[in-house]
């Protein structure tokens, strides 16, 4: 059985976060590398993606992947308007052969059934959103730039504006990512968060500044109207747990990516 991270609060919404276990890639991508943006063999990555999606019961053909820009753009996929979805078929890396359905954004939201978002991570914060009353799901990739740009609240805004969601109905899962134990940051990041008035999310130890991306995202989400009890944080540090996850920081950039998948299952009668 493939190990998967799931959130109780997301209930029966189809979702999971992968670990690095159970795949076919060789070091330093061992073994379940889901990211194409490295030197791993594309055939292995495709096989690993299929393994992850199969464990979730998700049809590979229904998956759309994010092409990350480390910004705060949100791709919106309204049901019944599939012709307007911000999708393109593109090769996953320069000179690569594999073409995937991609959206160029760090977050995506939909009320459609039968579409699943996949994003990949190697320290940045995975955010998974669901409003079961409106059947809306969303996913976001919040690194320090996305967090500084308040990508979580931007997703909540898009869910309200596009689909009429009430923040009180929205539940959020915060996935494995680099924790306040390990995330030493430089002057540029310190300056950015200080300017945002988020100085309490920085801690100085042994002459270094550590940023708490978890606290920062939680605070932004509750400020955006999410109930504190509606946020579930896995509190797993990727840098501490390279036995389970890929960590760009802990592995000096030479590593793979684990991923999240979230979506609404297709209609049974569809
Ligand atoms: Zn840590």
Report pTM: 0.96
Ligand 1 centroid–CA 125 distance in Å is 13
Q: Summarize pLDDT for 142-185 with one digit per residue, the tens.
A: 999 999 999 999 999 999 999 999 999 999 999 999 999 999 99
Ligand 1 centroid–CA 130 distance in Å is 27
- CA-CA distance, 194 to 184, in Å (whole number)? 15
Ligand 1 centroid–CA 234 distance in Å is 13
Ligand 1 centroid–CA 218 distance in Å is 18
Taking each helix axis from N to C end, the angle separating 151-163 and 213-223, rounded to the nearest 10 degrees, works out to: 30
Non-local CB neighbours of 85 within 8 Å, separated by 6+ positions: 75, 77, 103
How many C-beta atoms lie closer than 10 Å to residue 157's C-beta?
17
* Per-residue CA distances from 157 to 7, 87, 145, 151 (Å): 22, 21, 18, 10
Which residues place a Cβ less than 5 A from the ion ligand 1? 179, 181-182, 237, 239-240
Q: Summarize pLDDT for 197-213 with one digit per residue, the tens.
A: 888 899 999 999 999 99
Q: What residues in the chain have per-residue pLDDT under 50?
A: 270
Nearest one of 202, 185, 140, 136 to 163, comparing CA atoms: 136
DSSP H or E stretch at residue 158: helix 151-163
Burial class (CB in 10 A: 0-12, 13-18, 19+), 268: exposed
Ligand 1 centroid–CA 238 distance in Å is 7
């Amino acid at each position: 059985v493939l190990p998967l991270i799931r959130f109780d609060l997301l209930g029966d919404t189809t979702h999971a976060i992968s670990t690095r276990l159970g795949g076919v890639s060789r070091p330093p991508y061992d073994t379940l590398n889901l990211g194409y943006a490295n030197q791993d063999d594309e055939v292995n990555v495709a096989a690993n993606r299929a393994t992850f999606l199969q464990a979730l019961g998700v049809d590979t053909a229904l998956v759309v992947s994010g092409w990350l820009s480390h910004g705060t753009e949100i791709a919106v996929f309204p049901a019944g308007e599939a012709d307007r979805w911000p999708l393109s078929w593109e090769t996953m890396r320069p000179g690569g052969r594999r073409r995937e359905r991609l959206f160029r954004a760090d977050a995506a939201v939909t009320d459609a059934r039968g579409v699943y978002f996949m994003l990949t991570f190697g320290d940045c914060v995975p955010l998974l959103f669901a409003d079961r009353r409106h059947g809306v799901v969303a996913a976001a990739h919040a690194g320090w730039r996305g967090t500084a740009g308040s990508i979580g609240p931007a997703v909540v805004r898009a869910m309200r504006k596009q689909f009429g969601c009430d923040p009180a109905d929205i539940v959020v899962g915060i996935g494995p990512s680099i924790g306040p134990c390990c995330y030493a940051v430089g002057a540029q990041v310190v300056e950015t968060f200080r300017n945002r008035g988020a100085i309490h999310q920085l801690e100085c130890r042994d002459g270094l500044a550590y940023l708490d991306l978890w606290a920062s995202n939680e605070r932004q989400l509750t400020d955006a109207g999410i109930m504190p009890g509606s946020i579930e944080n896995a509190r797993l540090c990727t840098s501490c747990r390279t036995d389970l996850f890929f960590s760009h920081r802990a592995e000096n950039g030479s590593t793979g990516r684990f991923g999240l998948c979230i979506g609404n299952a297709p209609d049974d009668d569809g």
